[in-house]
Structure 1
């Protein structure tokens, strides 16, 4: 079945769009010194993970103790903060946070970064792929949410119909594509409503496999269907 075509948005409401590739096994810490900053990403920060112990005692201030800590990877940013690349011992994430140029540009940028990753890592096995789109929608206080969201919040009939905030999260299996979608809608006045679409699949693929990109394409198509079916026509038209 051909993929349904959706209108092209000239003003997409994206806060962040990302591609994530995770490895089945972590690379050794020694690989981190071999990672190089992608061209055009001068801002560099370390990524660490560890174990912490929290202590709460009567009449004593709350205390946290670091039990173990080690480097997980590097975070590289463009000067203006518009794009971020995470090179980790357990995978790669490529994010666009400003001026989203479209899926094709994100996909190819992630592909180039992944090729550079493989040059350093050598052969790897990929266990998880994901695409994620975090969108914002301005909804005036007191507005009818049904004018904006197709699955907005509901309140009991005997309660005043003014919602000052909400959070809704659903996990949906997408069986034909062996994928899972996590759809989160939140609102905290006065901030815009957030539509967070996270679509992922578990897999077992060689790092150089072309199937990585065909599967990411399917995940993006799922995310697209969710986005356009989550917003009303009135809202979609405002982004065209």
Structure 2
């Protein structure tokens, strides 16, 4: 697979770095909110994050009960383009469009992670992931989506070939990294008429034997990013490259 090229009209709508952790029991949400004191100038918007748990009771009568508990905080940048989640189960940093480059995205994630890590002192890292959500806008009329996509559901020649929608998921193990590629592809509503929009969602993660020291964590995320770029290039054709160049 080839490395991803630079595209002036990059189709990336969201890039994500996700680090799941196991924390000590004494780390509670009041610890996580302390991140704010270091980033408030750049991330002024603060939102609480909750998890809703339901319990169904069956006996002489049927009933249900729901409990809400706080799991962390969400910080949003002034321009609404960057989002940090600090949770009891981990750290997630997202960059929305326009996406500039991996280096700038990675360096900000690394800066924010160092703040989260210093406050929570994780026992262990349980999952590392890099995710890129791409939206490919293809002008109508489209004779065959295979002119634009190399990874695409095969429709039997005995069936009509027109598609008004589809959803495809592939899970591809990467034994050399101990990681898994989850590739989701579907048609989504277009931003303007006369276009068909295809969502190409590339999520690559490792959940076993994950690195736990700083150098290895970011070295491994670098490998996942490189692989994500290669997967993207493997999924598109030259015709698509012409659209986003």
Change (3 A) 1:89 1:157: same
Bigger mean CA deviation after superposition, 81-90 or 34-43: 34-43
The CA distance in 2 between the partners of 1:169 and 1:5, in whole Å, is 22
The CA distance in 2 between the partners of 1:105 and 1:28, in whole Å, is 30
Q: Do structure 1's residue 17 and structure 2's residue 15 form an aligned pair?
A: yes
**8 Å contact kept, 1:166–1:188:** no
Question: Any stretches of 5+ residues in structure 2 without a counterpart?
Answer: 58-62, 191-195
Of the three residues 208, 218, 221, the one matched with 2:223 is 218
Shift of 1:34: 2.6
Question: Any stretches of 5+ residues in structure 1 without a counterpart?
Answer: 56-63
**8 Å contact kept, 1:164–1:189:** no
**8 Å contact kept, 2:23–2:120:** no
The CA distance in 1 between the partners of 2:76 and 2:214, in whole Å, is 27
Match of 1:128 in 2: 127
**8 Å contact kept, 1:149–1:230:** yes
The CA distance in 2 between the partners of 1:96 and 1:218, in whole Å, is 19
The CA distance in 2 between the partners of 1:186 and 1:123, in whole Å, is 36
Greater relative contact order, per chain length (Cα 8 Å cut-off, separation 6+):
2
Shift of 1:65: 5.3
Provide, for residues 51-99 of structure 1, a one-character-per-residue CA deviation record: whole Å limited to 9, x for no partner. Answer: 12479xxxxxxxx955222111110112332110111111111100122
Match of 1:41 in 2: 43
Provide, for residues 194-222 of structure 1, a one-character-per-residue CA deviation record: whole Å limited to 9, x for no partner. Answer: 0000000123443x521000000010111
Question: Aligned pairs, how many?
Answer: 231
Q: Do structure 1's residue 185 and structure 2's residue 190 form an aligned pair?
A: no
TM-score, length basis structure 1:
0.87
Shift of 1:154: 2.6
Change (3 A) 1:65 1:98: farther
**Runs of 4 or more above 6 Å deviation:** none
SS at 1:138's partner residue?
strand
TM-score, length basis structure 2:
0.85
The CA distance in 2 between the partners of 1:66 and 1:193, in whole Å, is 40
**8 Å contact kept, 2:12–2:135:** yes
Provide, for residues 149-180 of structure 1, a one-character-per-residue CA deviation record: whole Å limited to 9, x for no partner. Answer: 10223322233221000011010001111111
The CA distance in 2 between the partners of 1:65 and 1:35, in whole Å, is 36
**8 Å contact kept, 1:164–1:188:** no
SS at 2:166's partner residue?
strand
Change (3 A) 1:29 1:45: closer
**8 Å contact kept, 1:136–1:192:** yes
SS at 2:233's partner residue?
helix
